[in-house]
Chains A and B, each alone.
Chain A
Amino acid sequence: MSAFRDKVSRAGAHGFSPTRISAMVMRHVYLLRRSWPRLLELAYWPIVQVLLWGFISKFFATNSTWVAQAAGVLLAGVLLWDVLFRSQLGVTISLLEELWSRNLGHLFISPLRPYELCISLTTMSLIRTLIGILPAALIAIPLYEYSIFDMGLPLLAFFSTLLVFGWALGLAIAAVLIRLGMAAENLAWLLVFVLAPISGIYYPIDVLPGWVQVIAWMFPAPYVFEGMREVLFHGVFRVDLMLAALALDLVYLLLGAGAFLYSFRVARVQGLLLRTGE
């Protein structure tokens, strides 16, 4: 065997290749760099949301004693909620790009492992989330004299927890997309909003009916938003809430990644990877 083929063979035989993961990240970065609409779209909604909630906050600051105590409580809520949404979307859209371009067949006859694809999708999700959220967070500073960064380190904890929960949801939705194809495309945009009312983004969980509260606490998001209000109103970082959120994150991430990897097995049984358009 030639030296060239020998090298390629050995590179392909080993799992967890940073080169292959970076190849997939590059592929999506090329795509973003090439497409202005895609980039603008990423930042568009978070900015619109911040504008809207910024003015609502301004209004409530003089009309609601609750908001008056912590002017940023609604803006922080909307920004953190968008972290969850963008993170989930970042995973699913990147996978949809492969389905749209009918590229999965090529990827899966290359030495790329499904779990490497999984890691590259979550990396892309982080990049897309930052591109989406940062402009909105920065705009709030001059407009409303509110900087979410004043929260300090707890912000990093909240961000990471929601990011990871977004990955879990994104991977689970990606698993459905692999099996059902683009017919299920809308799930990518809709599913996460089922959780919005029970995540306590703008109001405390205890306004919900008792049995709904039980369901709400099964997800990591309410712990983050309650934790956020504790920081904003009382200046305390509740480690107990954080740990509960992280434990749930881990469970959901394992479930999401498991569903994602399992869907490739199903796809190989049902012959879905060479599917040519719908």
Chain B
Amino acid sequence: MLEPAIRVTRLTKRYKTVLAVAALDFEVTRGSVTALLGGNGAGKTTTLSMIMGLVLPTSGAIEVLGQDMVHHRYRVLPRMNFSSPYVELPRSLTVQENLAVFARLYGIPDRTKACARLAEELDLTAFLKRATGTLSAGEKTRVMLAKSLLNQPELLLLDEPTASLDPDSADWIRTYLQDYQRRYGATVLMASHNMLEVERMCDDVMVMREGKIEHRGTPAELIRQFGRDTLEEVYLDIHRREGGARAAQ
């Protein structure tokens, strides 16, 4: 059997005064769609960044697709990708130019054809020649997604992929992502605080808080465990309970 897509052990990140990620241990199964669910400052982005090699851990180990991410990231980077509305593409370049640049960076064979096919699939053809900075949030998100699928990643990391989108565009993105994931058997790990999204897309949820994973299970399991009807209620339960516990101290 293949090793897990991601395996982190005792993963810790301490910034000067903040413990952003505290001794995380988890594995992400190949071909799964897993969520890192948690409020602002829970440590989701830091965790994703360490998995991508953008942030060096203070301690602990990260294995991605069977490789040590801290020491051999260039063996893995070609096989993964990342998309987030918080990291932009050069605004004054056209969509086509941005895709062309990243296709080269990833050494994509048949660049022109690959870009054209993705543009078709993600419905970008109408604005390929427009400056990326002039697009709407929904259009930008689709361009960013095209960039992150150029190399047909086996592992796709997403940081709040549908933040700042209207429900319609968000739905379109989710459907597309699910389709991609099934077609290529990709592994998806996404940070989110959108309960609906997580409930719909993910088969594995890790609830993060203050740098730790507090609960883990399928959305159905978590809902059952907490005796609730939706993941949103579970989430609020967790937060209220611990907020209350802290207030009582």
Binding site for B on A (CB under 8 A): 2, 4-5, 7-9, 11-13, 15, 17, 19-20, 22-24, 26-27, 30-31, 34-35, 97, 101-103, 105-113, 265, 268-271, 273-274, 276
Most buried by B among A34, A109, A268: A109
Binding site for A on B (CB under 8 A): 13, 15, 20, 45-46, 49, 52-56, 74-75, 77-82, 86-94, 97, 100-102, 104-109, 131, 147, 151-152, 154
**Do residues A5 and B152 form an inter-chain contact, with CB atoms below 8 A?**
yes
Contacts known (A34-B93, A106-B102, A271-B55); A8 close to B77, Cβ less than 8 A:
no
Contacts of B97 in A (CB 8 A): 26-27, 30
Q: What is the bound-complex CA distance between A192 and B50, given in angstroms? A: 36
Contact sample, A vs B, 20 pairs, CB 8 Å cutoff = A11-B78, A12-B74, A12-B78, A13-B74, A15-B74, A23-B101, A23-B102, A24-B105, A31-B93, A101-B92, A102-B87, A103-B88, A103-B90, A106-B102, A111-B77, A268-B54, A271-B13, A273-B54, A273-B55, A276-B87
**Do residues A269 and B56 form an inter-chain contact, with CB atoms below 8 A?**
yes
**Do residues A107 and B105 form an inter-chain contact, with CB atoms below 8 A?**
yes
Contacts of A8 in B (CB 8 A): 78-79, 106-109, 151-152
**Do residues B79 and A27 form an inter-chain contact, with CB atoms below 8 A?**
no
**Do residues A101 and B52 form an inter-chain contact, with CB atoms below 8 A?**
no
**Do residues A12 and B90 form an inter-chain contact, with CB atoms below 8 A?**
no
Expressed in whole angstroms, the minimum distance between the Cβ of B44 and any Cβ of chain A is 12
Determine the residue in chain A with the shortest Cβ distance to B114. A4
Contacts known (A5-B152, A274-B87); A109 close to B15, Cβ less than 8 A:
no
Closest 4 pairs between A and B when the two form their complex, measured CB to CB: A12-B78, A11-B107, A23-B104, A101-B90
Q: What is the bound-complex CA distance between A2 and B94, given in angstroms? A: 30
Q: What is the bound-complex CA distance between A158 and B69, given in angstroms? A: 45
Determine the residue in chain A with the shortest Cβ distance to B49. A274
**Do residues A23 and B93 form an inter-chain contact, with CB atoms below 8 A?**
no
Contacts of A102 in B (CB 8 A): 87-88
Contacts of B101 in A (CB 8 A): 23-24, 26-27, 30
Contacts of A31 in B (CB 8 A): 90, 92-93
Contacts known (A26-B100, A105-B54, A268-B55); A110 close to B105, Cβ less than 8 A:
yes
Determine the residue in chain A with the shortest Cβ distance to B86. A276
- Candidates A19, A35, A107; contact of B107 at CB < 8 Å: A19
Contacts of A276 in B (CB 8 A): 86-87
Contacts of B86 in A (CB 8 A): 274, 276
Contacts of B80 in A (CB 8 A): 109
Q: What is the bound-complex CA distance between A12 and B53, given in angstroms? A: 15
Expressed in whole angstroms, the minimum distance between the Cβ of A138 and any Cβ of chain B is 28
Contacts of B52 in A (CB 8 A): 109
**Do residues A111 and B78 form an inter-chain contact, with CB atoms below 8 A?**
yes
Contacts of A2 in B (CB 8 A): 152
Contacts of B106 in A (CB 8 A): 8, 11-12, 110-111
Q: What is the bound-complex CA distance between A9 and B108, given in angstroms? A: 10
